[in-house]
A and B are shown apart, each in its own frame.
Chain A
Amino acid sequence: MVSNEKTPKVVPIRKNDIASRKVRESFLEGLLSGLSWLLVAFVALFLMLITVRGFPTVAANGFAFLYTSPSKGIDEGGVGPAIFGTVVLVLLMTLIALPVGVLTSVYLVEYAGGTKASRIIRAAVNNLAGVPSIVFGLFGVAFFILFVGRGLDKLLGFSLSNPLWGKPAVIWAAATMALLVLPIVIVNTEEALLTVPVALREASAALGGTKWETISRIVLPQAVPGILTGSILSISRGAGEVAPILFTGAAFLLRDLPTINLFGVVPFVDPTKQFMELGYHIFILITQSSDVEKSRPAQYAATFVLLFITFALNFTAIIIRSQFRKRAIR
């Protein structure tokens, strides 16, 4: 390792020095790799803890926990409505965030290469990613519910005492959450768009395709896996966040699902209703069940369900992305 040929000025390295250096280095190596493995071990232990404590409750009575409603306040019963509410929330959120996010990244990548506009938009997106989640909650209350919602009520003639839109509702929770996950969608889509080879764009242009034709028929289809990754990651994030929906629509306990029967028969999501949500339900179980110690099994079980959902989503996203990256490199 150390060269033997030295100029006379350099103090010759003694064997002892090398030995102590080796000891020091192997100590450091142990420390660093030990730290890293500690993280891995922690993840494994954590998953085991939640699974061991949570899974038996989930699996009891043929997985009744997954589809029954809470009973006896919230102390017993399942999380069926909470799972349904979470699904509704992330669906509405994706409907809002996905088009906005994808179109924004298309503009950033395809139209506004390095212009001032793109720099400003990028800075805004970066800052949006850094806004604390509870601030989104504040914004949701003040803007979506009190400003937009009440405004709609005034416009449509609903009274303040019996508002239709100007109250916490799943649509406002979804809109708030959409703002929170927008940067995730944008960053992932941008990455995907950038990996589409320029040659494809040039080929399309050479055949007479306009810019938009090139984007919509050549570039976007190529970027679908990246867009998918972004949406899955944002869904996982949206399913896990609680702070933004605390005041914008999540409810403690509801007898009805946030649905409406269109024409009296077709069940459909009612965006103006409140909803139960899994993360919020966990929070409520921890803090407000009548006997916190007694409802521990339910808490672990609900946590297990939430973790299972988010990890399954993240795992899918990671796999899609790695496949996509491999293809892109080729």
Chain B
Amino acid sequence: MATSETPTSTQANPGLRSDRSSAKYTREKAIEIGLLSVATLAVVSIALIFTLLIYQGFQGLKIFGGTIELSDFWSTTIQKQEIVRKPDGGVKTNTDGSFVYETKTETGYDWQPTSSSKAKYSLVPLIIGTLKVAVPAAILGSLISIFVAIFLSELASPQVREIVKPALELIAGLPSVVVGFFALVTIASFVQWMAHMPIIFDILSQTPVLNRFFFPACTFAQEDPLQQICLQRAQGIGAAGTYLNTLVGALGMTLVIIPVITTIAEDALRSVPNSIRDASMALGASRWQTAFTAVVPAAVSGLTAAVILGLGRAIGETMIVLLATGNASILSPNLLESGRAITATIAAELGEAVAGGDHYNALFFIGAVLFLFTFVLNIIGEIVVNNARQKLRGGG
């Protein structure tokens, strides 16, 4: 790496770092370039992940030589030949005795990539499944986490912190397959037990709006009179719960995102300058009033970011939804019914999909959708965090 610059007076003393022609300088420069190239690996891999997902996902589309229309990812329209029935229920026949058929077009939102007649790739049930787990988890998780974060940063004594913080770190270190197992064996029974308590069962299955969202599973014992009542009510509103359902998944997910949200929220609260606390105290506010009327409003954007990042984490989690939600791809608002998330779909189906086939490509397509979801949430979260930090620094 001989330099083109003209030798300066430092040339007189060879071996100095400013001497650009020395072997030492060359070596240093080479090391720096080597380090830079290693450091770009992170950039390269994230770019590679993105392009590969997009590339493989789009391979299945018709425009790129596959067989899937882009609109198939929304809904599939199939034309069906159906026997026409008379109002009394009998089959309508022609004069010669043959059945009368009519062509019906049906629009379905199904994810059935291995269906024998026509593979269906609608993303709608998968997105609903994902959101049914992630949104309740994010709501419940942020409620708990933000309270805990306020407690830890504003009110707890150092001794209490010494106990609660490691507990949070232990939760953060739980492998997600373990949480999934816990959800499957313990949370699921707990949810069922709760929903089957006669009073709660009555409230859940009879309150007009509530029964759309929380209709429990009819898994009472056969001789239990509630079983018959449950089946009747289930038929009445056309909803039925299952033992493994999205609420079970959401509760398990809550566990996973609590440490995520708490850590970020606590950071946000701690970065509020003490001058704000002092000012509030000086005006006569108690510790609690200071926490809730001065510190929390100052940290609100950081708290928002914590919730957003928690939501991103919940959307991307795989093993919990795979184990605990039942994985039936259905369109239903009922949280006590099974649901199939995007992550679980990929995990359950990639093993069977033939590499390069439509199904395989469709899985990469939903992978790309998932990646975009979480990517956007992360970026938004990051921007909000940085803005909050800058604002507080400027104001403090």
A interface residue numbers (CB < 8 A to B): 1-3, 21, 25, 28-29, 31-33, 35-37, 39-40, 43, 46, 49-50, 99-100, 103-104, 106-108, 111-112, 117, 120-121, 123-128, 130-139, 141-143, 146, 179, 182-183, 186, 210-212, 236-237, 239-243, 246-247, 279-280, 282-283, 286-287, 296, 299, 303, 306-307, 310-311, 314, 318
Tell whether B45 is near chain A: CB-to-CB under 8 Å. Answer: yes
Q: Which single member of A35, A127, A137 contacts B148 (CB below 8 Å)?
A: A35
Tell whether B367 is near chain A: CB-to-CB under 8 Å. Answer: yes
B-chain residues with CB within 8 Å of residue A243 when the two chains form the complex: 176, 318-319, 343, 347
Q: Is the CB of A107 within 8 A of B164?
A: no
Known: A138-B346, A138-B350, A142-B56. A32 touches B167 (CB 8 A): no
Known: A32-B148, A32-B150, A318-B166. A138 touches B38 (CB 8 A): no
Q: Which of B27-35, B81-89, B210-218, B221-229 contacts A (4 or more CB under 8 A)?
A: B27-35
Question: Interface centre among B31, B168, B313, by most A CB within 10 Å?
Answer: B31
B298 to chain A, nearest CB (A): 19
- Chain B residue nearest to A168 (CB atoms) is B351
B-chain residues with CB within 8 Å of residue A247 when the two chains form the complex: 350-351
Known: A120-B43, A138-B350. A282 touches B181 (CB 8 A): yes
Q: List 9 A-B contacts (CB under 8 A).
A: A31-B147, A37-B164, A133-B318, A240-B174, A246-B351, A279-B177, A283-B177, A307-B178, A310-B175
A289 to chain B, nearest CB (A): 13
A-chain residues with CB within 8 Å of residue B46 when the two chains form the complex: 124, 127-128, 131
**Is the contact region of chain A dominated by helix, strand, or loop, or is it mixed?**
helix
Q: Is the CB of B316 within 8 A of A212?
A: no
A-chain residues with CB within 8 Å of residue B17 when the two chains form the complex: 210-211
B-chain residues with CB within 8 Å of residue A283 when the two chains form the complex: 177, 180, 319, 322-323
A-chain residues with CB within 8 Å of residue B284 when the two chains form the complex: 1-3
Known: A36-B151, A134-B316, A242-B177. A43 touches B171 (CB 8 A): yes
Q: Is the CB of B42 within 8 A of A186?
A: yes
Q: Is the CB of B42 within 8 A of A124?
A: yes
Query: A128–B316 Cα gap in the complex (Å)?
Result: 12
Query: A246–B176 Cα gap in the complex (Å)?
Result: 14
Q: Is the CB of A124 within 8 A of B27?
A: no
Q: Is the CB of A43 within 8 A of B42?
A: no
Known: A33-B160, A243-B343, A303-B181. A107 touches B39 (CB 8 A): yes
Query: A138–B35 Cα gap in the complex (Å)?
Result: 28
B-chain residues with CB within 8 Å of residue A106 when the two chains form the complex: 35
Tell whether B363 is near chain A: CB-to-CB under 8 Å. Answer: yes
Q: Is the CB of B367 within 8 A of A138?
A: yes
Q: Which single member of B27, B322, B343, B375 contacts A130 (CB below 8 Å)?
A: B375
Q: Which single member of B27, B164, B382 contacts A36 (CB below 8 Å)?
A: B164
Known: A28-B288, A135-B370, A246-B351. A100 touches B375 (CB 8 A): no
Interface residues of B in 4-32 (CB under 8 A from A): 17, 24, 27-28, 31-32
- Chain B residue nearest to A215 (CB atoms) is B31
Known: A43-B167, A138-B350. A107 touches B27 (CB 8 A): no
B interface residue numbers (CB < 8 A to A): 17, 24, 27-28, 31-32, 34-36, 38-43, 45-49, 52-53, 56, 144, 147-148, 150-152, 155-156, 160, 163-164, 166-171, 173-178, 180-182, 184-186, 258, 284, 286, 288, 309, 312-313, 315-319, 322-323, 343, 346-347, 350-351, 355, 363-364, 367, 370-371, 374-375, 377-379, 382
Known: A39-B164, A279-B175. A103 touches B38 (CB 8 A): yes
A-chain residues with CB within 8 Å of residue B47 when the two chains form the complex: 124
Query: A138–B51 Cα gap in the complex (Å)?
Result: 12
B-chain residues with CB within 8 Å of residue A108 when the two chains form the complex: 39
Query: A299–B180 Cα gap in the complex (Å)?
Result: 12
A303 to chain B, nearest CB (A): 5
- Chain A residue nearest to B34 (CB atoms) is A103
A249 to chain B, nearest CB (A): 12
Query: A1–B283 Cα gap in the complex (Å)?
Result: 10
Q: Is the CB of B288 within 8 A of A104?
A: no
A-chain residues with CB within 8 Å of residue B184 when the two chains form the complex: 286
- Chain B residue nearest to A281 (CB atoms) is B177
Q: Is the CB of B316 within 8 A of A135?
A: yes
Q: Is the CB of A242 within 8 A of B176?
A: yes
Q: Is the CB of B382 within 8 A of A126?
A: yes
B-chain residues with CB within 8 Å of residue A307 when the two chains form the complex: 174-175, 178
Query: A240–B317 Cα gap in the complex (Å)?
Result: 13
A258 to chain B, nearest CB (A): 19
Q: Is the CB of B374 within 8 A of A132?
A: yes
A-chain residues with CB within 8 Å of residue B53 when the two chains form the complex: 135, 138-139, 142
A-chain residues with CB within 8 Å of residue B27 when the two chains form the complex: 210, 212
Q: Is the CB of B319 within 8 A of A242?
A: yes
Known: A39-B258, A121-B43. A240 touches B176 (CB 8 A): yes
Q: Is the CB of B43 within 8 A of A314?
A: no
Known: A35-B147, A210-B17. A124 touches B52 (CB 8 A): no
Query: A183–B56 Cα gap in the complex (Å)?
Result: 26
A144 to chain B, nearest CB (A): 11
Query: A128–B243 Cα gap in the complex (Å)?
Result: 35
B-chain residues with CB within 8 Å of residue A43 when the two chains form the complex: 167, 170-171
B-chain residues with CB within 8 Å of residue A142 when the two chains form the complex: 52-53, 56, 364
Q: Is the CB of B350 within 8 A of A286?
A: no
B-chain residues with CB within 8 Å of residue A314 when the two chains form the complex: 169-170, 173
Q: Is the CB of B28 within 8 A of A1?
A: no
Known: A36-B160, A40-B164, A135-B49. A124 touches B43 (CB 8 A): yes
Q: Is the CB of B32 within 8 A of A111?
A: yes
B-chain residues with CB within 8 Å of residue A125 when the two chains form the complex: 42
B221 to chain A, nearest CB (A): 18
Known: A121-B43, A130-B316. A32 touches B38 (CB 8 A): no
